[in-house]
């Protein structure tokens, strides 16, 4: 049974992500009293990776990178925003990745993926947000700024 929602009850996808993060079993790192290492103390907050070849080949090259990111000593998520359709929970398990530490977020049709990515970066619930955005001159600075605000990293992957 579905109930009608008023305009005030409508939540954005970023709000839903935030609510799910707060309700999860994992303790949100921002609630800890212990100081954490900031992005400035480590490498840059924004990176790009370009992979050439068939989709299957590109995913084979990407799997070790995701495995390394997913095994970081962090209680925050590795978040994948709008990955290729082949990336699923089943693919994660097949690539020896822990699906319990990786969140896959798929945007709704008509939604601005760059804005969603920036919102998730600013929230800081993920140690790294991996996106598959088209090359755009204004997206890199926006992603870097959002990653610095959320004390996390942004990785944009280009498949070719």
Report d(CA 45, CA 72) in Å as an integer.
Answer: 15
Count of domains forming the chain: 1
Q: Does 87 reside within a domain?
A: yes
Q: Does 71 reside within a domain?
A: yes
Give the pLDDT score at 135: 84
Domain range enclosing 68 = 44-159
Low-confidence ranges of the chain (pLDDT < 50): 1, 3, 25-35, 38-42
Decide: helix, strand or coil at residue 49. Answer: strand
Give the pLDDT score at 139: 92
Give the pLDDT score at 146: 96
Give the pLDDT score at 159: 86
Q: Does 109 reside within a domain?
A: yes
Q: Does 6 reside within a domain?
A: no
Q: Does 21 reside within a domain?
A: no
Give the pLDDT score at 11: 60
* 107 within 8 A of 79, measured Cβ to Cβ: no
Domain of residue 65, CATH code = 3.40.50.300
């Amino acid at each position: 049974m579905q109930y009608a929602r008023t305009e005030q009850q409508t939540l954005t996808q970023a709000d839903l992500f935030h609510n799910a993060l707060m309700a999860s079993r994992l303790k949100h790192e921002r609630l800890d009293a212990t100081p954490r290492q900031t992005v400035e103390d480590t490498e840059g907050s924004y990176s790009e990776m370009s992979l050439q070849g068939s989709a299957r080949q590109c995913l084979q090259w990407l799997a070790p990178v995701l495995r390394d990111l997913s095994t970081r000593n962090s209680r925050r998520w590795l978040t994948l925003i709008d990955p290729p359709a082949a990336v699923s929970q089943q693919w994660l398990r097949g690539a020896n990745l822990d699906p319990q530490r990786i969140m896959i977020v798929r945007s709704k049709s008509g939604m601005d993926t760059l804005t969603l990515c920036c919102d998730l970066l600013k929230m800081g619930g993920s140690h790294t947000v991996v996106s598959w955005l088209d090359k755009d001159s204004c997206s890199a600075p926006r992603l870097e700024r959002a990653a610095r605000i959320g004390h996390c990293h942004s990785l944009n992957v280009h498949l070719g």
